[in-house]
Chain A
Amino acid sequence: MLKQDLSSPPKGFGGVFDFVLRQGSTGVIWLGAIFVTAWSMWLISDIVFNGWAGLSYDFLTHTPTNAGREGGIAPILVSTGLVLAICMAVSFPIGLGTAILLSEITATDSWWGGMIRRSLDVLAGVPSIVFGLFGNAFFCNILGLGFSILSGGLTLACMVLPILIRSTEEGFRAVPIAQKLGASALGLSRLSTLFYILLPIAVPGLIAGFVLGVGRAVAETAALIFTSGYVDRYPESWLDSGRVLSIHIYDLSMNIAGGEAHAYTSALVLLILVLLINQTASHIGLRYLRRGVT
């Protein structure tokens, strides 16, 4: 009797219902996956098809002329690099330090840590235009840095920090408690525990945070339009105004009639840039991980 129950499939309404439910949910999952993939494929292929023709060595090394309709994007790449460099140079040490403070030094249930965490989560969701206005008010006006690469970089750092901190903190939390107990039981100092045991394990989270942060920073428009400005010549110093790639794309596609072709090519350059940063970061991460073994 039991054997028969196990071997024969369920019959009647229940069986049909089960079948429909199973096939139906499989279908929904596939549809979702296809939709997401198709959407991003369409986006990327649109940029590649329309931008590829304009991509050349000259495009990368010449200054823009005729409001960007002709020429290249060399000064824009320089400004982008500088803004990004400032953003990361400021946010990385602060982010790492705060993550260590949150995950390793403050107690998990402390009121203070909880407050910081909640504020960071709120900050991570704040629209970038708000950061832009804040940056304009604080860095450009109050600190008197004006429309400059420095103001832009610092504003971006404020914007990227919440993501960077939270994801790095997750990386540290991924370290098994057994490892921390093991290190404590040997009387290892906090510093050696951090360097030899926590950091190597936390590196993937750190890299993820870094990539997410850079990705958000390099693609940022709203926060920079009010802080680093949109002058398309080479910046002369940290305190000079400069136009970053995303603003260039925005300007060409919205304000300049006949700028679409170069807007597409600039978008392609931005896409490749993000991909390169992504690859480099994970490559460094892997090498760092292997270092611990040999």
Chain B
Amino acid sequence: MNIPTTIEALDLSSTIIQVENLSLHYNRKPAFAEVSLPIYRDQITSLIGPSGCGKTSFLMCLNRLVDLVPLAKMSGQIRFNAEDIAQKKVNVVALRRKIGMIFQRPNPFPLSIKKNLELPLKEHRTKNKAEIEEIIQTTLEAVGLWKEVKDRLRHSALLLSGGQQQRLCIARALVLEPELLLMDEPCSALDPLSSATVEELIQQLKEKCSLLIVTHNLAQARRIADYTALFWFAEQTGKLIEYGPSAEIFNQPKNQITEAYIRGERG
């Protein structure tokens, strides 16, 4: 593995998550192995690389959604707020309140728009009606959905367009005020226009929380990510090949594979 020295030189107190030697197996079949990387606070970090090299699995380790996969076995350390969240005994409900996740396909619940946002709010933050109304409005405004849906909050969320559904899902994660938002190819199931809207929204979200985005769209990673990590399938498992500021990864990659991948010659 070849992690550039520039990373080590950076101030580590600005990291929100420090991953150390993280490996994941599905029923003894490795998904990725020995990944170590810091994720910086209030920055956008993107994970790129070909399919099947463990990017999504890596994401699911960080909020322990991987617990739901039968026979998945994780080893290594994930330091988040001075706590190792890779430990079995960690309170995953409290963890997932602080680390939100957006999926590739928008997955609003088959309930009304309002209920979609109310559900996590009531569970974790407040049962006060006025407060709930206020949070719903400010959050929907933050994702640019308020004007579009304010008159039909009681309609089914499934009636929204794909892009609107994805923004609703982002709002649903934001009502919990997460410190880190994991996004698994949030734009790939959307049409180009909706994709652009969501991408714009992601850039604004930087002011609210840190973001870790898996994307297959290299141009998107180059546009929005402050840091970029390249995962690659090597030695029968997913590996972290190169990690650093996006400008360096895209302009002066140190690894030959990275260079070929960026130029579209491999992957």
Residues of A within 8 A of B (CB): 107-109, 176, 178-189, 192, 196-197, 200-201, 292-294
List the A residue with the shortest CB-CB distance to B94: A187
- A187–B96 CB distance below 8 A: yes
List the B residue with the shortest CB-CB distance to A201: B110
- B96–A183 CB distance below 8 A: no
B70: chain A residues at CB < 8 Å are 107-109
* Mask: chain B, 140-181; 1 = CB below 8 Å from A; 0 = not: 000000000000001110000000000001001100100000
B87 at the interface (CB under 8 A from A): no
Q: How far is the CB of A193 from chain B (nearest CB, A)?
A: 9
- B107–A187 CB distance below 8 A: no
7 extra interface residue pairs, beta carbon distance < 8 Å, beyond A178-B105, A183-B109: A179-B110, A180-B68, A185-B100, A185-B173, A186-B96, A187-B97, A197-B109
Identify A178's interface contact among B94, B107, B119, B172, CB under 8 A: B107
Identify A187's interface contact among B92, B103, B111, B154, CB under 8 A: B92
B139 at the interface (CB under 8 A from A): no
List the B residue with the shortest CB-CB distance to A196: B119
Residue among A176, A187, A188 with the highest chain B CB neighbour number at 10 A = A187
* Mask: chain B, 169-206; 1 = CB below 8 Å from A; 0 = not: 10011001000000000000000000000000000000
B120 at the interface (CB under 8 A from A): yes
- B65–A293 CB distance below 8 A: no
Q: How far is the CB of B67 from chain A (nearest CB, A)?
A: 8
- Between-chain CB contacts (< 8 Å), 27 pairs: A107-B70, A176-B107, A178-B105, A178-B107, A181-B68, A182-B103, A182-B169, A185-B101, A185-B103, A186-B96, A186-B100, A186-B123, A186-B176, A187-B94, A187-B95, A187-B120, A187-B176, A188-B119, A188-B123, A189-B123, A192-B119, A192-B123, A201-B110, A292-B111, A293-B110, A293-B155, A294-B154
- B123–A187 CB distance below 8 A: yes
- B65–A196 CB distance below 8 A: no
Known interface pairs A188-B123, A189-B123, A294-B154; A181-B107 also in contact (CB < 8 Å): yes
List the B residue with the shortest CB-CB distance to A294: B154
The total number of A-B Cβ pairs within 8 Å is 81
Q: How far is the CB of A113 from chain B (nearest CB, A)?
A: 11
B108: chain A residues at CB < 8 Å are 182
B155: chain A residues at CB < 8 Å are 293
Known interface pairs A184-B65, A186-B173, A293-B156; A196-B115 also in contact (CB < 8 Å): yes
Q: How far is the CB of B207 from chain A (nearest CB, A)?
A: 22
Residues of B in contact (CB 8 Å), total 33
- B109–A179 CB distance below 8 A: yes
B90 at the interface (CB under 8 A from A): no
List the A residue with the shortest CB-CB distance to B27: A109
| Closest 7 pairs (CB-CB, A-B) | A187-B96, A178-B107, A185-B101, A182-B107, A187-B93, A293-B156, A186-B120
A293: chain B residues at CB < 8 Å are 110-112, 154-156
B63 at the interface (CB under 8 A from A): yes
B124 at the interface (CB under 8 A from A): yes
B97: chain A residues at CB < 8 Å are 186-187
A176: chain B residues at CB < 8 Å are 107
- A189–B103 CB distance below 8 A: no
A292: chain B residues at CB < 8 Å are 110-112, 115, 156
Complex Cα–Cα for A181 and B102 (A): 10
A200: chain B residues at CB < 8 Å are 110-111
A196: chain B residues at CB < 8 Å are 109, 111, 115, 119
List the A residue with the shortest CB-CB distance to B101: A185
Task: Tell me which residues from 73 to 106 in chain B have a Cβ below 8 Å from any Cβ of chain A.
Answer: 92-97, 100-101, 103, 105
- A189–B93 CB distance below 8 A: yes
Q: How far is the CB of B100 from chain A (nearest CB, A)?
A: 7
Complex Cα–Cα for A108 and B70 (A): 8
- A186–B68 CB distance below 8 A: no
B101: chain A residues at CB < 8 Å are 185
Known interface pairs A108-B70, A178-B107, A293-B156; A185-B112 also in contact (CB < 8 Å): no
List the A residue with the shortest CB-CB distance to B176: A186
List the B residue with the shortest CB-CB distance to A185: B101
Known interface pairs A109-B70, A293-B156, A294-B154; A188-B112 also in contact (CB < 8 Å): no
Residue among B71, B96, B107, B124 with the highest chain A CB neighbour number at 10 A = B107
B115: chain A residues at CB < 8 Å are 196, 292
Q: How far is the CB of B122 from chain A (nearest CB, A)?
A: 8
B111: chain A residues at CB < 8 Å are 196-197, 200, 292-293
